[in-house]
Structure 1
Amino acid sequence: MELKIYQVDAFSEKVFRGNPAAVVPLTQWLEDEILQKIALENNLSETAFYVIDGDRVILRWFTPGTEVDLCGHATLAIAHVLFEHEGFEGEEITFLSPRSGILKVKKEGSQLVMDFPLDTIQEIELTDLMTNPFSPKPFQAFKGKTDYILLFENESQIRNLDFDLAQIATLPVRGVIVTSKGDHVDFVSRFFGPKVGVPEDPVTGSAHTSLTPIWAEKLGKNELTAVQVSPREGKLGCKLVGDRVILTGNAVTFLIGRIFI
């Protein structure tokens, strides 16, 4: 069996920045074990698979360790592949995720605009289990459907954060988002997901469905600018619209190849 594969740097205007995702087009679904092995072999934070079904595109996302409920940067990468390489006609793609429902991505000039469901957020008490992996310590905590969100005093703390991945992996969540108000953008963040095989994700679209409502309330506005300050760094536009989050970013192709199984 031979499969096409693309590697796309999402939330970036140039290669070697943003978040790399693998995209594998399929004509029909393969066994989950094969999908997981491909993701492990790729060893990227996410490998996305899709099957075109009429006027919808069914998509699934895998880290090297597990299938996940939602992945923003890999969705952006699939949309880029469809628009730029796979001959998609039209300005908006309707995706269907078995785990997250309908997701839409449209092209506006050089940018891609994603329409995602808003995460369900609640403030929670900070515990030693949450704060022990980090130095300095966060001052406030929230929990979404899959992650903790920890707030810090300033951007410098986020950029220079000391962290213990082994302790983070013991937390009962998919991952931990750390965030603060930004110096030159509205907010900055980082994402750690060692439990699902992603020590630090370069740019995490799904995390911004959690971050956007928090910072919209704190800053008193619904349109926000964000940077995920990982070593690769990535920029996002975020807009809160009812129970949806609109995420905007760029993507660029790094690699086109073939998988032989």
Structure 2
Amino acid sequence: MEVRFFQVDAFTRQPFKGNQAGVCLLEQMPGDEVLKSIAAENNLAETAFLLPVENGYHLRWFSPKVEMKLCGHATLASAHVLWETGLVAPDATISFTTLSGVLTASRENGWITLNFPARNCDRVALPDDLRRLFADAIDVAFSVDRYIIELPTGAAVADFVPDRNILAPYLVVLTGKGSAEGPYDFISRYFATPVGVDEDPVTGSAHCSLATYWAARLHKNEFLAYQASPRGGELKVILEGDRVLLKGEAVTVIEGRFHF
């Protein structure tokens, strides 16, 4: 079997920045074990698998360990590949059927807009080990499957040195308010060892939670956000009711084929 493959840097306009995603264009859907093996072979935060269906594409996402229920950067990368290869008309909106329902992608002036579900945040107490690690946390919430931990400043988020042993069992999003002098409303980082990613470079799904979190904190619904991983990435985030619009750019860095 032969599958067209692309590697895309998402939520950036520069190669070697943003978040890396694999994109596989399928003519038929292989078994789950094959999909898991391809994702493990890529060893990227996520690999997206696209199969044409009526009115769009069936889209699945796999980390090196598990199938994911929602992934922003690999959806952005998938839309980018479909437009860049000419499989979808340049001005067409793309519909993806996923484990999180129907998601759409559109494009304007080089920016791709993803329409994703908003994720609610509930205030909780941290487990003891995380409370010791984040003794300076000023707010804590839980959203779907991950802790949202606010530190005193965005700079504190960027400067945080992770303790991999303590973080290993948890999905953790760190966030902090941007500085008054800077362009960003908030800064974030995401640690996701349970799904095979020690630190994710730029995370669309995390911003589905951060949009609702910061809307309540800042009393606004449009944000410019920065994820301060070593690769770094920028997103425009808009909360519209129970949906979040994630806007970003992307660039293809590798094109090839899988043979198996």
- TM-score (structure 2 length as normaliser): 0.95
Question: Counterpart of 1:22 in structure 2: which amino acid?
Answer: G
Decide which moves more: 19-28 or 121-130. 121-130
Q: CA deviation at 1:248?
A: 0.4
Query: How far apart, CA to CA, are the structure 2 residues paired with 1:231 and 1:135?
Result: 20
Q: CA deviation at 1:14?
A: 1.1
Aligned match of 2:206: 207
Query: How far apart, CA to CA, are the structure 2 residues paired with 1:136 and 1:15?
Result: 37
2:174 paired residue among 169, 174, 178: 178
Query: How far apart, CA to CA, are the structure 1 residues paired with 2:105 and 2:145?
Result: 23
Aligned match of 2:125: 125
- TM-score (structure 1 length as normaliser): 0.95
Q: Secondary structure at the match of 1:216?
A: helix
Q: Secondary structure at the match of 1:206?
A: helix
Q: CA deviation at 1:209?
A: 0.1
Contact 1:153–1:180 (Cα < 8 Å) also in 2:
yes
Question: Counterpart of 1:3 in structure 2: which amino acid?
Answer: V
Q: Secondary structure at the match of 1:257?
A: strand
Q: CA deviation at 1:27?
A: 1.2
Query: How far apart, CA to CA, are the structure 2 residues paired with 1:86 and 1:137?
Result: 50
Query: How far apart, CA to CA, are the structure 2 residues paired with 1:115 and 1:84?
Result: 20
Decide which moves more: 121-130 or 178-187. 121-130
Q: CA deviation at 1:35?
A: 0.3
Matched, 1:94 2:95: yes
Query: How far apart, CA to CA, are the structure 2 residues paired with 1:69 and 1:13?
Result: 26
Alpha-carbon displacement from aligned partner over 1:48-85 (angstroms, at most 9, x marks no partner): 10101021211010000111110000000000000111
Q: CA deviation at 1:120?
A: 2.4
Any unmatched runs of 5+ in structure 2? none
Identity of aligned residues (%): 42
Contact 1:181–1:188 (Cα < 8 Å) also in 2:
yes
- The 4+ residue runs of structure 1 with deviation greater than 2 A are 129-132, 134-137
Question: Counterpart of 1:204 in structure 2: which amino acid?
Answer: T
Contact 2:120–2:212 (Cα < 8 Å) also in 1:
no
Aligned length: 256
Contact 2:224–2:236 (Cα < 8 Å) also in 1:
yes
Q: Secondary structure at the match of 1:203?
A: coil
Query: How far apart, CA to CA, are the structure 2 residues paired with 1:107 and 1:136?
Result: 42
Matched, 1:195 2:194: yes
Question: In angstroms, what is the RMSD of aligned CA positions?
Answer: 1.2
Query: How far apart, CA to CA, are the structure 1 residues paired with 2:212 and 2:243?
Result: 10
Query: How far apart, CA to CA, are the structure 2 residues paired with 1:78 and 1:141?
Result: 33
Any unmatched runs of 5+ in structure 1? none
